[in-house]
Amino acid sequence: MESIVIYGGSFDPIHNGHLRIARAASMILNADVVFVPSKTPRWKTPEATPKQRLEMLQLALKRDGSPAFSIDLFEMKGKADTNYTIDLVRHMALTHKNTKLYLLIGADQVNSFPNWKDPEKICQLATPLYVSRPDVEIDDKVLQSFNMMRLPYEGSGPVSSTKVRNLQDVDVPLAVRDYIESNGIYYMSKLRSLVSERRLLHSVSVANLAFAIAAKNKVEDYRKAYIAGLLHDCGKEMDEETTMKIMKDRFPEYVSYPKWTYHQFVGAFLAETIFGIKDSAILDAICFHATGRAHMAPLSKIIYASDKIEPTRGFDSRRLMNACYRNYYVGFMAVLKANKEYLFSRGYTVDNESTKQCFDLYLGEDE
């Protein structure tokens, strides 16, 4: 008998955790997986439109899916204001006769399953299937009462749609990330409220370059490079009064620095307070992307270099980009040297202690 796993959800947006679970279910149960995006979820209000969520799902399955994956538009095309799981399961039972049906639900939905509409009837048509999560304590009585089945898989990762929407994680298919960028949804909408379109274009370019450098160098947690790159200039266009208040309140030790450096500190503040970024490596990379500093972490070196050589800068930086692709540290050193030579050729001098320490440590030269 053939088997099908029904995988419903808002997919706001679809992420790699969803895909990893679907692959595991397909392999372990020898089953096809049917994704069923909901039009109007009962327990949440999606940020993206139904059309956008469907398009991202289609892109994800086209680029990173499996021949065993497909999409059913039963709920998207339905006219009902409220979608009930029992209606979906009945639809699947009618359209896939003589097929073993599994209903994949989240671990956080298990305990509330008795409150769903017609839970007993659902179980007559499909076997509830769940993936355990370390942060969710499941009621064994519910599992026994409804004969729920645990999928023996724990590799979905910590990613969630909420974290993706807030830019706290970008563990999504690249096609989905590109879609978020080009359509200005989720975190892009928030970032657009902080910077101009010109600055946004630069930030996106830095983010994609930094991500590519980190990925090619197999840097641990390489996706953080995209987050830091996208937010590195989010404080660039903050008004002077607010900027000075943030500097005095949060970064008093750097108030004596020249004003052109302030945006990097403000950017780190905004990344933490507006986007909820708590990762110290990301915040540090933003905090010193313009000046540099002594003893920079790998992510900080990558963001510093990417900011200086991203393609929209208007000069031929291919040699420096290729150097970073081959070895991010060697590339960073080349970018740092080129930046120092450029500054000094224009008559600039080192006007802050962080840049001085950076040049002295990595280039071994005094001003």
Distance CA 42, CA 87 (A): 14
CA dihedral 305, 310, 315, 317 (to 10 degrees): 60
Please report the pLDDT score of residue 262 as a whole number.
98
Amino acid code (one letter) for 118: D
| Pairing relationship of beta strands 99-106 and 127-131 according to DSSP bridges | parallel
Cβ atoms of 264 and 190 within 8 Å: the answer is: no
Residue 136, burial from CB neighbour count under 10 angstroms (0-12, 13-18, 19+): middle
Distance CA 277, CA 268 (A): 9
Cα atoms in the Cβ-side hemisphere of radius 13 Å centred on 94: 7
Question: Residue 177, Cα to own-chain centre: how many angstroms?
Answer: 8
pLDDT averaged over every residue in the chain = 95
- The 10s digit of each residue's pLDDT in 168-190 is 999 999 999 999 999 999 999 99
367 pLDDT above the threshold of 70: no
pLDDT band (50, 70, 90) for residue 71: very high
Tokens 């080009």, residue? 182
Instruction: Identify the H or E element spanning 212.
Output: helix 197-216
Distance CA 103, CA 116 (A): 13
pLDDT band (50, 70, 90) for residue 365: low
Cα 35 to Cα 4, 168, 311, distances in angstroms: 10, 25, 38
Please report the pLDDT score of residue 92 as a whole number.
97
311 pLDDT above the threshold of 80: yes
Residue 246's region, left for phi above 0, alpha for psi from -120 to 50, else beta, is alpha
Specify which residues 100 forms β-bridges with: 3
pLDDT band (50, 70, 90) for residue 78: confident
- The 10s digit of each residue's pLDDT in 6-39 is 999 999 999 999 999 999 999 999 999 999 999 8
Specify which residues 101 forms β-bridges with: 4
Q: What is the arithmetic mean of pLDDT over 274-301?
A: 98
- Cβ neighbors of 258 (< 8 A, separation 6 or more) are 351, 352
